[in-house]
């Protein structure tokens, strides 16, 4: 089976699409995905529609240095769940770029690698939660980040981005009602023995049941 057929790419990702043509607008969906849920999938689909993206590349975070790493599920489990969740959508694929890179995960490194892979002609859109985007000004080399990609923050209903210092035209916010689902709530429900059917794809329920993820806090 080829990489394109599985929708998975390993490290140096191939920018070729299923029909062999090169994409011109690519979404990079960054998140910890612990676990990936239907809110993420709806958000990616909605942003792809709104911005006319050719594809959305899900990039599970390798080592989210700003979090207590003992509490974050091993990256290989988060990666596999993301592959399972996106497998049926030909517009979605998953990249191991952050999983395979050693050290703390910085979006700047990811976007530099993606830019090198896709070349200067392709428009990159970095998609993530608006909460995560709110901290964007504390990231390294903000000006270079904005040169590398347009940023799209996905909002839960009623959420407002508190930081008004974001540069004009570089950031878009999209309200996604399905983001009422949250990864932390899914983890908590599993820990308490409550169902997560329909909050996450069926394959994710089965993966979590099979591996025993999230049973302990």
Q: Would you tell me which residues interact with ligand NAP (CB under 6 A)?
A: 29-32, 40, 43, 61, 64, 66, 105-108, 127-129, 131-132, 135, 139, 154, 179, 182-184
Q: How far is the CB of 46 from ligand NAP (least distance, A)?
A: 10
- The Cα 211–Cα 186 span in angstroms is 15
Q: How far is the CB of 56 from ligand NAP (least distance, A)?
A: 10
State whether the Cα torsion 91-97-99-104 is positive or negative.
negative
Taking the least distance from each CB to ligand NAP, the nearer of 2 and 183 is: 183
Q: How far is the CB of 1 from ligand NAP (least distance, A)?
A: 27
Residues 6+ apart with CB under 8 A from 174: 43, 46, 47, 50, 152, 153, 154, 155
Question: Which among 76, 97, 78 is positioned nearest to 32, based on CA atoms?
Answer: 78
Helix 202-211 with 75-86: angle, nearest 10 deg: 150
Taking the least distance from each CB to ligand NAP, the nearer of 122 and 132 is: 132
Q: How far is the CB of 103 from ligand NAP (least distance, A)?
A: 12
**Alpha helix stretches (DSSP H) within 52-97:** 75-86
In the bound state, the residue with its beta carbon closest to ligand NAP is 129
Taking the least distance from each CB to ligand NAP, the nearer of 7 and 30 is: 30
Taking the least distance from each CB to ligand NAP, the nearer of 22 and 100 is: 100
Taking the least distance from each CB to ligand NAP, the nearer of 122 and 173 is: 173
Q: Are 94 and 79 in contact (CB under 8 A)?
A: yes
């Amino acid at each position: 089976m080829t990489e394109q057929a599985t929708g998975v790419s390993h490290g140096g990702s191939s920018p070729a699409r299923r029909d062999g043509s090169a994409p011109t607008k690519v979404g990079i969906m960054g998140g910890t995905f612990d676990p990936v849920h239907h809110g993420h999938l709806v958000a990616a689909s909605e942003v792809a529609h709104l911005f006319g993206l050719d594809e959305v590349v899900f990039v599970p975070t390798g080592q989210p240095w700003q979090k207590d790493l003992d509490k974050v599920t091993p990256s290989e489990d988060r990666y596999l769940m993301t592959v399972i969740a996106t497998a049926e959508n030909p517009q979605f694929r998953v990249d191991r770029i952050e999983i395979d890179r050693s050290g703390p995960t910085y979006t700047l490194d990811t976007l530099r690698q993606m830019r090198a892979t896709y070349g200067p002609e392709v428009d990159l859109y970095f998609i993530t939660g608006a909460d995560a985007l709110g901290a964007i000004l504390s990231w390294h080399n903000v000006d270079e980040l904005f040169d590398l990609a347009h940023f799209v923050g996905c909002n839960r209903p009623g959420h407002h981005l508190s930081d008004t210092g974001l540069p004009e035209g570089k950031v878009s916010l999209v309200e996604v009602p399905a983001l009422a689902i949250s990864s932390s709530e899914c983890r908590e429900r599993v820990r308490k023995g409550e169902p997560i059917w329909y909050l996450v794809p069926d394959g994710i329920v089965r993966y979590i049941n099979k591996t025993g993820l999230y049973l302990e806090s």
